[in-house]
Amino acid sequence: MADDKIEVEGKIVTVLPGTMFRVELPNGHTVLAHISGKLRKHFIKITAGDMVKMEMSPYDLDKARITYRLRNVNVERNAPIRSYGPRRR
């Protein structure tokens, strides 16, 4: 019962305040998603157009938790190229 999670992949459509995102699933459904703690801890940046892997509860299919940002996916976005190194101040 504790592992009743649905794993899905989707594309970030909109970046919202408070580390929330609108994500479109391959079937056209749109969900509201937030970042998991590991992504926050390791400063993983997510922008519009990124493909992500998410976990959803079978009880509420309108919300999800982003657990992984997929790499090596060709996405069309007009965003600057990011550096993947640590922050320097």
pLDDT at 9: 95
pLDDT at 4: 87
pLDDT at 82: 61
Tell whether 36 is covered by a domain.
yes
Give the CATH number, domain containing residue 22.
2.40.50.140
Judge whether 50 and 5 are in contact, CB under 8 Å.
no
pLDDT at 66: 96
Number of domains in the chain: 1
Tell whether 38 is covered by a domain.
yes
Exposed/middle/buried for residue 17 (C-beta within 10 Å: 0-12, 13-18, 19+): exposed
Domain of 52, in residue numbers: 6-69
Q: What is the pLDDT of residues 72-85, one digit of tens each?
A: 666 666 655 665 66
Tell whether 17 is covered by a domain.
yes
Tell whether 26 is covered by a domain.
yes
| CB-side neighbour CA atoms (13 Å) of 28 | 0
Tell whether 86 is covered by a domain.
no
Query: Which residues of the chain have a pLDDT value below 70?
Result: 1-2, 72-89
Tell whether 74 is covered by a domain.
no
- What residues pair up with 68 in beta bridges, in sequence order? 53
Tell whether 23 is covered by a domain.
yes
Neighbours of 8 (CB within 10 A): 18
- Tell me which residue has tokens 């790499």: 71
